[in-house]
Amino acid sequence: MQSQEPEVNMASNTGAQMATETRYLYLLRHGETDWNRERRAQGQQESRLTEQGRQQAHELGLRLADQHLDHIYCSSSLRTRETAELAFGSRQINIEYCDRLREIQMGSWEGRLYDDIRREDQAQFDAFWQTPDTFLVDGAETFKELQHRAATRVQEILDSSGHQHIAIVSHGAWIKSLLCAVEQRPLNQLWHPPRMHNCSLSKIQVDKLGKRTILTYADQPYTHPFFQENNA
């Protein structure tokens, strides 16, 4: 049975103490892993960066070399820790590891090939990729639970830290769920483009009143019309 999580609203935050300056969140997906390449469900199981993934992480660090970062929060998964170390290890920036930044828990799917999952459970395979708001597998998180975990952790980071430039190294579905909350986009559209490719950067501006604005989505300037069209 799905747990009843409170509705997530990341578009603004009027409950927290007002910030004194505009702040920025830099959301970074990990580099390519061996399980990415094999098309294997990762979830919260451990997989290592491929050589290409290591190169992606190194290039990410070069892209952000001139960007001041006050603090880095990183999923405790091996693939994100490897990415953060390769991208930022040479800089004097504290990296804080956190279990709540880990990828969606996928229950019995973890470690299995997606082709095998599709053959054995076509309905839930289709739900995961086409209607993620209906995804329900024993031992797995729902996407609503993932989104709540992501949004509440980010809010805690903002509330407890005075840092202006904050990087978060995490995972594709985790980042997508957070951006959906900021956009107020329905979860059934979570996988809509842009694709969250390996080592992509998404950037959120948080103004003094707590209003969130997506500036960059997976390395692309943010132009998605969903919020504007549906709130005109």
Q: Which residues are designated catalytic? A: 30, 103
**36 with 198: CB under 8 angstroms?**
yes
Phi, psi of 161 (to 5 degrees): -125, 140
Strands (E), the chain: 23-29, 71-75, 95-98, 165-170, 201-206, 212-217, 220-221
**Cα separation, 56 vs 76, whole angstroms:** 19
167 pairs with which residues across the strands? Answer: 26, 72
**Cα separation, 219 vs 164, whole angstroms:** 20
**Cα separation, 117 vs 222, whole angstroms:** 33
Residue 99 exposed, middle or buried by CB count within 10 Å (0-12, 13-18, 19+): exposed
**77 with 43: CB under 8 angstroms?**
no
Q: Categorise residue 184: left if φ over 0, alpha if ψ from -120 to 50, beta otherwise.
A: left
SS3 108: helix
Cis peptide before 221 (omega within 30 of 0): no
